[in-house]
Amino acid sequence: MEKNEQNPGQKLTDPGQKKKTLTHNTSQTKSPIAPLILEGAKLTKMQVSDLIKKHFKDIRVDDIQLSHTGLFALYASDVSSFNRLFNEFTAILATNGQTSAKLYVPRSIQRIKDTDKIAFVKRVDLEIPEDRITIALKDAGLDVTDVIRLKNKE
């Protein structure tokens, strides 16, 4: 009889018994991009997915989650997909009979986006010039007035 590698005190009762590894399943998707919230759409997850596939051939969505309150969380794979969904999906929903549907950024993210504060972006490669950083931040929908590279203390 073999010993169980995960629990050495326990013996495997059947020589053919498989050793199981435990995985922790979470309902939240780990994405570096915030989700978009779709509210008021009288659709199923499959219908939302089909609409996205039909009207946005080049958009990638990692996950669509439906909460018990009827809100959808759409997790875009990249910034371009996020922007296209955010700017164009409400009109597509309206043309498909979902006139009461609203697509918005979660409040916690909206407060960050609307603030006039300074933002710090860490670990930006030194070879990337400030003007390219400005362009990338503006492409992400942020209002950028100035980019300054901070120096390390020596």
Query: What predicted TM-score, i.e. pTM, was given to this entire model?
Result: 0.53
pLDDT digits (tens, 9 = 90+) for 39-96: 999 999 999 999 999 999 899 999 999 988 889 999 998 888 998 999 999 999 999 9
Handedness of CA 75, 80, 84, 86 (dihedral sign): positive
For residues 88-117, give the mean pLDDT. Answer: 77
pLDDT, residue 24, reads 44
**Would you place residue 5 in the very low, low, confident or very high pLDDT band (cuts 50, 70, 90)?**
low
For residue 98, is pLDDT > 50?
yes
Top CATH class, 36-113: alpha beta
Annotated domain spans of the chain: 36-113, 116-154
For residues 24-33, give the mean pLDDT. Answer: 56
Cβ atoms of residues 110 and 37 within 8 Å: no
pLDDT, residue 23, reads 45
Enclosing H/E stretch for 65: strand 61-66
* Rounded Cα–Cα distance for residues 41 and 82 (Å): 18
Rg (the chain; Cα; Å): 23
* Rounded Cα–Cα distance for residues 107 and 117 (Å): 17
pLDDT above 90 covers a percentage of the chain that reads 27
* Rounded Cα–Cα distance for residues 67 and 90 (Å): 19
